[in-house]
Structure 1
């Protein structure tokens, strides 16, 4: 499924694979013609630090840290299977100090020492390079960049050829010229003169001049104070080089700039020496020794065994007995090895490509016969829109076995363009669909999709009546999500790289980008076939690989009973949409606009002058420069921070201006995000909005809502209530809201050993009042609103791992008081603290936590060295079982309700899912029957130690029903 712009996040090809794959897989290196000389120079330091920071701690059988060694070896070994060079070398830094420190001792002086557990890995990484049969180069007194410059120059002087430097280091961009390019190992894109010009504003031969002026804080290169890259580029463009500029410095019109150049002329010259790479540096490894060659016999296998790298041994086909696996430090093997794809099974290793373009009916009939005989076929659609409700199918693809796939074009050509090439020969859509219908409706043939919800909707709206019934189906995106929520993205590209070790063709490669992008229907058929058929091929291979794992991972029931059934449920909800009263929306917009004007006037009065309230920079100047209020903090741009946390803190201190600005921002956001956006998204035919539900975008199993996002409308505020009034029922109907009451707290009571909470829920008590009475030692009947409010904040805050500081900020009390309240809470409910610690420990040991129903929710940052990220991961580990459990409960209800309502003969339609609430449109005569069925199913889909409770409300608008 594709479009002529970009893909939806779930159906598309999200990037951002782990470091080992990003650095090594699928680089943009063209095939080397026989006899061509092509030197590849790998920046070893870049690989080392990327590997170290990407992987959690692990040790080899001797207890030596090896996470960076593993990542480096994985990246380089994968690179070697794909590189297109006649010569290759890895270049390392030899030592911290080099010749630049001789004339400028402060060069890189402020850089911290390498992490202690990385230092013993440097020698092992060099051993890994040797074991892979790759020449390595380093030289005392010189940086790796100097050696790279020297090798690039010497290689081209020896004879015709080209050089690719695998690095995105800006210091190496000065080397770019005809025959020399960089390759960004993360973005997998070449860096040539246009990219250098975009970065520095000058051609590569002028880069050192710009760097001399701008300096580099990372390397402690001083430059000229006050001159950045943009200004430096302007000056060098005007004067040609640094010396010419300094010679004419007195003629510079801007006083500050002129004085800075005059006073820091020598400093600029020193900076130029610091950034200039020495292409006469010694070359310890002769170029002849860099010739690409296989690893020495037995050396690589012996090294991998010694390190305990079993997955690398398996991938290379060298796994032998007796190889002891490396010991992980606080993380499981699954997490430790996540960045490196495992070996692709032999039956899935067929070459990609050589696909067929099907343009005749007999050819399509042959493919359909093959698919029927196979019993399983992977399918994908190509369209002209991200919106499945409005998309036209440009073509579709089929795959019947790994490497055996085809593309069937339907609407390729340039309709309406008199000057364009004539449309290519292709099957008439109505004839293609007539041939396809028996296959799609055949109950003995499994149809496999990646993001089936989109493709099924496209097929349903196809010409000639579409396809109402396509069954049975499987969805590789949801298979992956059922097993690995939170572990990685579930788009086709990411799954393909992670599981098949293959980088698929990118959409941009066939359609272009920006203004040059063409619709998919204009893509030449050979390119369209290569791209579209590959999608079907990848989908089939993913299904063959992932579906058997469902049972092994304990996720088969979750997938088959919940996730796969949600596809049809959500399609029905998206098609139904919900009616919006455009006139009411306009009235709300006018009211919000008037209130914004009043708030703006009040803000100006409090500030003492008019200013742009929407400008954080101007607001910061008002608060901290003019009003002299404390707490001003400037960011990297030099402007004061005025984000919500800063303003909330000031508002809690009684600063009215901060409170009014927060109110203005909230109202302005609601006006633009909902009032104005909703008006533009009302379907002109049915006067309803049709949100699109994301099925695999969250780490907890919850659904997301897009275009429009109906899940972020404020629940408690008057403004949120006003917006909900614009969502209405059709005449003769009401909206019915069914909302789970305190579902996450009920899950907490179910999981944690807290008898008093279970008793309170069993008896139908006010849980927040009960908590307040027990924590604050109040008589049950003496709990006032303030005590209950505090208890409610604590109850929900605990689920989200709220700290004492966070609680204090939320309640507007000193941090010490927040700590005492939390201590009192855990003293009263020790079982809750035990459950929280259990969740964190489960995440640390296994890399995931489980919902009460067994679903794995992965917590990737739980083993990170960054304390801030690790603390966030621990909070996520605490909350995930409750959010994930709540998501699973409401999904179970959602897949059962449509059938139950239909079997009861009711015309009620389920329209929305928002957090723990379902919204239905109910005929007036069916209110009682619908309420009973909905409440019964929602309260009985899960058996907990405390009862589930659902609150039902009805009304003409969503606001009245909620």
Structure 2
């Protein structure tokens, strides 16, 4: 009597999925450039199988290295397969470790293929009456299907039983070996019989029987109903030996002597420590979160009944192990006695982590709901002051709390750390508290350590560096339109969330500063550039910029009229009306109806209508040019002329952007809400938007811009004598370059020659190829290459620098700015040519762009320090855009203040060539630029 099982035996063809995941997944890599896509795909598939079948016995089978018995039978077996790519080979070892750590038995059996192990186990299960599921994408496995055995392709979510085999192949499972023997298999290089295809194979097998029956009845083939039936017998006879060989090659072995029984294939417990290590290294953040939190099921899809606030780790040893976060040790302060004790503790502290909880992400609108502090691991508290949900407990008065905290928060001697502490600084500034004594922002510490290793939000950093999954805001507040604001949340729940933020921040500070301490230059960048800059930016954000809303309203009306005109022109030219915002309709018009050339395709194979594609087509065709104009004006209207007036703060009557220090890979600042970095300057309409940025009465706008800063940095880095000489003699670098390339005196350089030289100067900085230069200058590729060859002959130091930089990047995995900021390049050694070339181009540009970013940051710090010494309102720094600083300066101090700003910007660093700053003055930003 057979033992009954409620769950099927699950047999996984690991090798099949490894290859399919590698070729089917996008080319995923972690921040170190390690390929991870195949591992991700296979692990995801294993998780799905457990979810779908909840098995008790399951095994993952991989092909062993080396030859199998089939190679001995036929030397050409699988000879068509190319060598395994290095990107795939490198993923096998970590995948094997993960599979076993997930609790799955794993088999790698020498001398046979994974198919044979699976075939043997499936036969054993079927003969015992046990249901068996084979997870594979390999069609050969169809021969194993019977009443108890089914196939599942987890990637396509399709199953195949006996009826499914007939539906797919046209023959039953017991004839699949014969089908493969006749038809052959190009993937495995099984030869089959030349001239036999799907239809003829199916006709012979269904009409006569298996391959042996066919050879016993060759004369019967001519009577079958398929094309070429009359001559097929002759082909079969001529290739009999090959057909029988193919039959042997295609037959999966089902009687191996395996050194274990099915009952030994029990799933084991997860090894969470190993999984945490692997997932952290591969940067699978979601899965790392799951194995870092006991409250989360990993390979099960069961409902998690545990509160998201329950302790992680082993609560029995949390008191003795501060590395384990114990939320039960957090304190929620509701009465005056506990608060006064906290004040005493803060006054005695040498270092404290600070975090605010508010009603909004907009620092100008946010109202303080509470504030949390951490003094050491697990030593954290939360002071609620404005939770106002029904039945909320009585809390301390917000103003009372802030008055008591003000001298502590403003004390420079009590050191503070925070996560994105600029936000907290801005919020506190709204309550007349000037947060001082900030020694570290953990977001910036992570960014300086490696800007591309991870996102730099708290949840991501906690997972990466602490292996801890923080309580997410959505877990306690909900999602979407029904999401509650912090003041509406239960204090018992939100208090642990808030205190955890401070606790995690404190721990991150300790971890990250220890990592940074190994690299003196990185610590210096954090302490002398990023941390002090955060305070400068905070003040700039609070100052904001004045906007002429009426002017923008008029511009919106003008743009709306122009947009309608363009839309009408496009429809007339296309010969029909269509939705210009519909990618599908645009593809139809451009590439089907008008037959324009397809420049690039989307990942799904459709013709691309991206901005760069339309711009390229616009060089030859009018319709794409009109559509490009339409898109540009529509974006300008929606993003700026319509939106900016709505963003004016009712309290200050100014617009307040948010600057981000930890977004771009190279160190440049970015901005959002609104994005001031992307207002076009090369179009009339874009410049008109800039005209709406105005000074307050009695002031002028001053825009101070570094001139050709990246080219100057190139001269400094490359030490090329020609470039150094040109800049140190104050020559126009583009004219000097044109003179060298075209062999003409500088006073005879034409406008076109200077334009070409400018394109070369800037193109080389961004790694432009001869092909790219030829497109930009509308010249032949040959001529473009000659220009570049001549350039490098005249400036050999530049070529030497570029080659040396590529080699440094390949050996180290990163390049550095003049000041030591590291710019990591995960794809620099990728075997994928396009990714590697892209990383090589970035390697050339990143040191220059990163150094330029460092320089303007240093300038901002120096200028802000000087402004503070003035102790008046004669000058305010109001914007930073790429290499430009924008100020409001009182008219009576205009000349002296402008000159001092230029002097400070030019002298903030010392390079081998002088920095040059051009400053313009106007009644709006456009006039001043």
**Is the shorter-chain TM-score for this pair beyond 0.5, marking a shared fold?**
yes
Work out which of the residue numbers 423, 427, 433 in structure 2 matches 1:467: 433
Describe the shift of the 1:168–1:785 C-alpha distance in structure 2 as closer, same or farther (beyond 3 A). Answer: farther
Work out which of the residue numbers 391, 411, 417 in structure 2 matches 1:448: 417
Describe the shift of the 1:636–1:454 C-alpha distance in structure 2 as closer, same or farther (beyond 3 A). Answer: closer
Kept after mapping to 2: 8 A contact 1:596/1:668 = yes
**In the alignment, what sits opposite 1:818?**
784
**In the alignment, what sits opposite 2:327?**
353
Describe the shift of the 1:952–1:852 C-alpha distance in structure 2 as closer, same or farther (beyond 3 A). Answer: same
**In the alignment, what sits opposite 2:377?**
402
Describe the shift of the 1:54–1:109 C-alpha distance in structure 2 as closer, same or farther (beyond 3 A). Answer: farther
**In the alignment, what sits opposite 1:687?**
653
**In the alignment, what sits opposite 2:266?**
290
How much has 1:39 moved relative to structure 2? 12
TM-score by length of 2: 0.71
**In the alignment, what sits opposite 2:474?**
508
Work out which of the residue numbers 115, 123, 135 in structure 1 matches 2:85: 115
Map 1:84-483 to 2 at 5 A. Answer: 91-94=60-63, 114-115=84-85, 118=88, 135-137=105-107, 286-287=262-263, 290=266, 292=268, 349-354=323-328, 355-414=330-389, 421-462=390-431, 466-483=432-449
**In the alignment, what sits opposite 2:251?**
none
Q: Distance in 1 between matches of 2:907 and 2:882?
A: 18
Q: Distance in 1 between matches of 2:807 and 2:702?
A: 42
Describe the shift of the 1:632–1:710 C-alpha distance in structure 2 as closer, same or farther (beyond 3 A). Answer: closer
Describe the shift of the 1:659–1:128 C-alpha distance in structure 2 as closer, same or farther (beyond 3 A). Answer: closer
Q: Distance in 2 between matches of 1:659 and 1:214?
A: 49
Once the two structures are superposed, residues 405-427 of structure 1 have per-residue CA deviations (whole angstroms, 9 ceiling, x without a partner) of 2222222232xxxxxx4113332
How much has 1:477 moved relative to structure 2? 1.2
How much has 1:445 moved relative to structure 2? 2.1
How much has 1:166 moved relative to structure 2? 14
Kept after mapping to 2: 8 A contact 1:137/1:283 = no
* Paired residue secondary structure (1:482): helix
How much has 1:726 moved relative to structure 2? 0.7
* Paired residue secondary structure (1:92): strand
Q: Distance in 2 between matches of 1:208 and 1:390?
A: 65
Matched, 1:727 2:703: no
**In the alignment, what sits opposite 2:882?**
915
Kept after mapping to 2: 8 A contact 1:901/1:933 = no
Kept after mapping to 2: 8 A contact 1:486/1:700 = no
Once the two structures are superposed, residues 533-555 of structure 1 have per-residue CA deviations (whole angstroms, 9 ceiling, x without a partner) of 11111110111122234342122
Q: Distance in 1 between matches of 2:875 and 2:529?
A: 22
How much has 1:638 moved relative to structure 2? 7.0
How much has 1:90 moved relative to structure 2? 5.9
Describe the shift of the 1:366–1:953 C-alpha distance in structure 2 as closer, same or farther (beyond 3 A). Answer: same
Map 1:760-909 to 2 at 5 A. Answer: 760-906=726-872, 907-909=874-876
Matched, 1:617 2:591: no
Q: Which of these two proteins has the greater Rg computed from alpha carbons?
A: 2
* Paired residue secondary structure (2:877): strand
How much has 1:658 moved relative to structure 2? 2.3
* Paired residue secondary structure (2:886): strand
Once the two structures are superposed, residues 98-132 of structure 1 have per-residue CA deviations (whole angstroms, 9 ceiling, x without a partner) of 9xxxxxxxxx9999774267559858975897799
How much has 1:949 moved relative to structure 2? 0.5
Kept after mapping to 1: 8 A contact 2:31/2:454 = no
**In the alignment, what sits opposite 1:628?**
595
How much has 1:437 moved relative to structure 2? 3.1
How much has 1:472 moved relative to structure 2? 4.1
How much has 1:467 moved relative to structure 2? 1.6
* Paired residue secondary structure (1:863): coil
Q: Distance in 2 between matches of 1:110 and 1:503?
A: 47
Work out which of the residue numbers 546, 554, 566 in structure 2 matches 1:599: 566
Q: Distance in 2 between matches of 1:40 and 1:112?
A: 30
**In the alignment, what sits opposite 2:670?**
704
Once the two structures are superposed, residues 673-725 of structure 1 have per-residue CA deviations (whole angstroms, 9 ceiling, x without a partner) of 21112122122343321111001111111100100001111222212211111
Kept after mapping to 1: 8 A contact 2:352/2:373 = yes
Kept after mapping to 2: 8 A contact 1:377/1:447 = yes
**In the alignment, what sits opposite 1:492?**
458
Unaligned runs of 5+ in 1: 1-36, 59-65, 99-107, 159-164, 170-190, 216-277, 310-343, 415-420
Q: Distance in 2 between matches of 1:888 and 1:68?
A: 33
Q: Distance in 2 between matches of 1:652 and 1:669?
A: 21
Q: Distance in 1 between matches of 2:600 and 2:95?
A: 43
* Paired residue secondary structure (1:770): helix
**In the alignment, what sits opposite 1:590?**
557
Describe the shift of the 1:285–1:425 C-alpha distance in structure 2 as closer, same or farther (beyond 3 A). Answer: farther
Q: Distance in 1 between matches of 2:95 and 2:572?
A: 65
* Paired residue secondary structure (1:508): helix
Q: Distance in 2 between matches of 1:581 and 1:445?
A: 43
Provide the aligned C-alpha RMSD in A.
4.8
Kept after mapping to 2: 8 A contact 1:493/1:503 = yes
TM-score by length of 1: 0.69
Kept after mapping to 1: 8 A contact 2:373/2:381 = yes
Describe the shift of the 1:368–1:455 C-alpha distance in structure 2 as closer, same or farther (beyond 3 A). Answer: same
**In the alignment, what sits opposite 2:237?**
none
Q: Distance in 2 between matches of 1:477 and 1:384?
A: 21
Q: Distance in 1 between matches of 2:843 and 2:613?
A: 27
More displaced 10-residue stretch of structure 1: 391-400 or 547-556 = 547-556
Work out which of the residue numbers 710, 713, 738 in structure 2 matches 1:744: 710
Kept after mapping to 2: 8 A contact 1:621/1:640 = no
Kept after mapping to 2: 8 A contact 1:69/1:128 = no
Name the count of aligned residue pairs. Answer: 748
Once the two structures are superposed, residues 224-281 of structure 1 have per-residue CA deviations (whole angstroms, 9 ceiling, x without a partner) of xxxxxxxxxxxxxxxxxxxxxxxxxxxxxxxxxxxxxxxxxxxxxxxxxxxxxx9xxx
Once the two structures are superposed, residues 851-884 of structure 1 have per-residue CA deviations (whole angstroms, 9 ceiling, x without a partner) of 1122211112212222211111111111111111
How much has 1:832 moved relative to structure 2? 0.7
**In the alignment, what sits opposite 2:919?**
952
* Paired residue secondary structure (1:705): strand
Work out which of the residue numbers 523, 529, 532 in structure 2 matches 1:562: 529
**In the alignment, what sits opposite 1:19?**
none
Kept after mapping to 1: 8 A contact 2:360/2:485 = no
Q: Which has the higher contact order (CA 8 A, sep 6+)?
A: 1
Describe the shift of the 1:290–1:771 C-alpha distance in structure 2 as closer, same or farther (beyond 3 A). Answer: same
Describe the shift of the 1:961–1:425 C-alpha distance in structure 2 as closer, same or farther (beyond 3 A). Answer: same
